[in-house]
Structure formats: C-alpha cells, structure tokens
Amino acid sequence: MQDITGGDHAPGNEDAPAPATLDDHAVVPEPQPSTGNDGMGFRDWLREGLRAGLFLKPRVTTAEPTAGHLLAIVLAITALHLAMQRLTVQGPANFNLRGWLTPWWTTTATVLVVWSLFSFARRTQDGRTRGGTAAWFVLVFVASLPLALVYMALGLAWDREWMPSSFHESAILGWGMYALLWAWDCALGMRIASALGLRARALAALGVALLALNAVASWQFQDRAWYPAREDDGESAPRFTVSQEVFESQQALRERSLAALLPQRPGVADVYGIVFAPYASEDVFLRESTMVAGVLHDRFDAGGRLLQLVNHQSTTDTLPWATPANLQRAIAAVAAKMDRSEDVLVVYLTSHGASNFQLAANHWPLEVPRLTPEVLRKALDDAGVRHRVVAVSACFSGGWVDPLADEDTLVMTAADATHTSYGCGRKSQLTFFGRAVFDEGLRRTHSFEDAFAAAVPVIRQREIEGKKPDGFSNPQIRVGAKIRPVLAEVAKRLDSRP
C-alpha cells in the first residue's frame, strides 16, 4: 500500500483517477465562505485530524489551514511515517530516496481529484468557489497516523514471522489483508470529505477514485523507503538493476551454461537436473535451490549435468535467471544432450504457490511471468524428454500432479491442491519439504519414493510443532508405471558406487 506521505508501507493513499464528469448537484453548498483559519492553530489541526483518524467527526466546517500550518504538519507527519517504516526493518537499513519519492505521484493525483470535487461541490451563488482541499489534505495527513500504526504492527509481524504462515503463503489472505487496509484508508478520506460538505454523489466518486489509486499504487509502485542493508564480506551487496550490460551478460551466461552440459554416457542411465527458483525476494529459495543442486551432484552423479536457474540479486553474474523462457531453453538443451531412452531428468521447482496453481515469480525491476504446470508439461513434451522426476515445493502444489503425471513421470509436491506448504518464510533455511525429502531423505537413499515416504511423517510432526494454522500440508506423490523400473535401475547403479 502506498501512503500519502510518499512511503510505501504506511497508509494514507487517498488517490484515484478523476471522474469523467462531476455533478454540480452532488452536494449542498455551504452558506458562508471562509476567509481564514477560524482561529484554529497547529495543535487544533492535529487534534481534529486524530479525531478523524478514529472515525470521529472533525470539528471543522469552514476553517482552512494557513500555509505555515500545512507545511509544518506535512513535515511532522512525514517524519513520523518514515520513522515507523524504519522500525519494520530489522537491523541495519538503507534509505531508498527513489522508493520514498515515487509514491508522491499519488499525493498529486489525490489533491487534483479532491480539488475538482470541492470546486464543483462548494460553488457559491455568485459563481466563486470556496476552499476545502487544504483542510481535507491536512486532516487526512494526520488521520493516517492510527492506520500507519496498524500497518507498522503488521509489517513487524510479517518480517519477524509472528503472523501465521498462511498469511505469507496464501495470496487470498495476503490480498485480503491489503483490501481491509485500503477500505480503512478510503473510508477515512470519505468521512473527512463528508464532514467538510461533500454529499452522496461526490463522495461516491471520491471513493472510486481512492480505491483505484490505492490499487494502482500497490500494483505498480512497490518501492520501499527502507531496505535491509545486506552484507557480503563486510561490503554492501549491489542492488539489482536492469541495463543493456546486464541483459547481454545474462544471455552470454545462459549460453555458456547450456553449452557446458556434459553429453550422456553410453550404457549409463545418467541423471540430469534443472533447479528453478524464480522468487528473488526471499533468500530461502536461493538456499534451497543450492541445496538440491548439491544433492543431485553428490548423490546422483549429476556433476556437469546440472542447470541452476535462480532469481536473486547476488547471483546475477553467476546463474541464469529463472524465467519460463529460460526454463524452456534449459529443458531443450538437456534433451539435446541426454539419451532419451535411458537417462532421467529431475526438475525441482521452489517458490511461493497460489491457489490457482501458478508459481510465484519476482525479480524487480525485471518482470518475470509466473510458471504454470501446463507450460512445464508442454516444454517437456516438445523437447521429447521421456523419463521425468518433477518435484514442486510450493503452496497448493498438489494442483501440479494431474497436469504433469503420466506413465513415464514421477511427480511429488509439498502440499495437496487445497493446502499451503510450510517453511518458506524469511527466516527459514529450507522449506519443510525440501529439507525432509532432499536434504535428509535423499542423502540416505537413492530412491525418490522411499525418501518421500520417510519425509511425510517428519513433515507432519514439524508442522504440528510449528503450529501450522491451516492443517497438514499433505504432500502428494504419483509414480508412473514405466518410470519406476528406470528409477530402480538408477538407484541400483548409484548404490553400487564406492
């Protein structure tokens, strides 16, 4: 949510596109124009703004703030918002001037919308217009403080993982929380406008405008004023930026990675691996992708036959991006090197998952499409990959089973189609699924089925101990009849290694 003070985590976005037409009769004009501030001082404006923030009617009708009062209140409230936003970031933090300035466009749009409404609504008999915009702006600025406190508390709970994991892992709950905050924010703006004289039709136009601008700001302007200060050997890690040099180096890096794949060995059922981690905002997915790649390398003799696709600011120069297009290219490159009649391709996906079974992708400012099971299935089919092991560590990942399953495929998921998985928060080292199946199970056995069977009760117990709020994730597995003997032969060969 963007805020009227220009921050991105504190509320106060009273913004939206101006209505195409406005009705002069939407409000009843006030009887007397105001010629001053009606004796209201700085503390009076603060008091009435805080009353409005608690949905009490501000005791202001025709008063207008002086330029000095307006400037002082804007500076004071802006400083408080910045301080509250800083508290939501644990440890050292860097101030992002661009992230603070960007949302101020919504303030400008809000002022234009409110000014146009008051210009139509508060026109006097002789055609002159009275004020109202400055009073509304000051009151809303101050009234945003209680909402900002709630938002700060939610931010602290989110970053410190005090909230149930379902809020982190469920798109519905996450956006539902945003919707409640937007509703509160817009209700404040409409309540104050009503107290200053706007009536039903103008208030309805204002409500639509505020909702629209809140939505656009949260969708398109997600910069924050404060970011955690990352350290790498004592030096701050560089922020990811998109430039021609980055694109060119990424393309070259991808081509080198694909070209470096080792060819199949005649008479050996080789294991190839692709690990895909498209969500850059949380380090757990980088750690998990690295762990899985290590297990495939060490336990499945896949050295030189692995591709790790990752979105993360620290891997821009070392690993290809995790995009659906790169995943399709990787699958095609593996298919060109492997013996499709005997070799096996393991694809491991790790990210947040949504109830529509799309895999979340994030690498701002790069726009990354979400991956769907249908896109993955088509890429595997088009490349002619026959023997497949697909593991999906994400919420609601059980929805990937039916689209991917066939006689030549083993597919296993961290949850069923109606439950969240667990362990993908900011403080998590690994997801519960990745830890139990790969980091623990497959370090003791070369059988994917055995590792999965041993992991399920472990995951259940850990979720109970972690007080998972929405019940057991219920990991799923389906093994095709034709892939089982192939995997058994692979396990036999690996078991016989010294």
How is the chain split into domains, by residue range?
Answer: 24-222, 243-495
Which of 113, 112, 138, 125 lies closest to 28, judged by CA?
Answer: 125
Q: Which fold has domain 243-495?
A: Rossmann fold (3.40.50)
CA 162 to chain centre: 18
Q: How many CB atoms lie within 10 A of CB 362?
A: 18
Phi first, then psi, for residue 361 (nearest 5°) are: -135, 140
Q: Using a cut of 0.85, tell me whether the model's pTM lies above it.
A: no
Nearest alpha carbon to residue 34 among 129, 108, 155, 172: 129
pLDDT at 26: 43
pLDDT per residue, tens digit, the chain (498 aa), is 333 333 343 333 334 344 444 444 444 444 343 434 556 888 888 888 888 888 888 887 667 888 888 888 889 888 888 888 787 776 677 787 777 777 777 778 877 888 888 877 665 444 444 558 888 888 888 888 888 888 777 766 766 556 665 555 555 666 677 778 778 888 888 888 888 877 788 888 888 888 787 777 766 666 677 766 654 433 334 456 778 888 899 999 999 999 999 999 998 999 999 999 999 988 899 999 999 999 999 999 999 999 999 999 899 899 999 999 999 999 999 999 999 999 999 999 999 998 899 999 988 888 899 999 999 999 999 999 999 999 999 999 999 999 999 999 999 999 999 998 988 766 678 999 999 999 999 999 999 999 999 999 999 999 998 888 788 999 999 999 999 999 999 999 999 887
Instruction: Write down the pLDDT at residue 229.
Output: 60
What pLDDT, on the 0 to 100 scale, is given for residue 279? 93
Give the DSSP letter string of 381-420: HHHT--EEEEEEESTTGGGGHHHH--TTEEEEESS-TTS-
Sign of CA dihedral 482, 487, 488, 489: positive
Q: Report d(CA 198, CA 1) in Å as an integer.
A: 26
Strand partners, 346: 273, 389
- State the first-to-last Cα distance of the chain, in angstroms, to the nearest integer: 57
Tokens of 223: 């910069």
Q: Any alpha helices (H) in 92-132, and if so which ranges? A: 97-101, 104-121
- 338, containing H or E segment: none
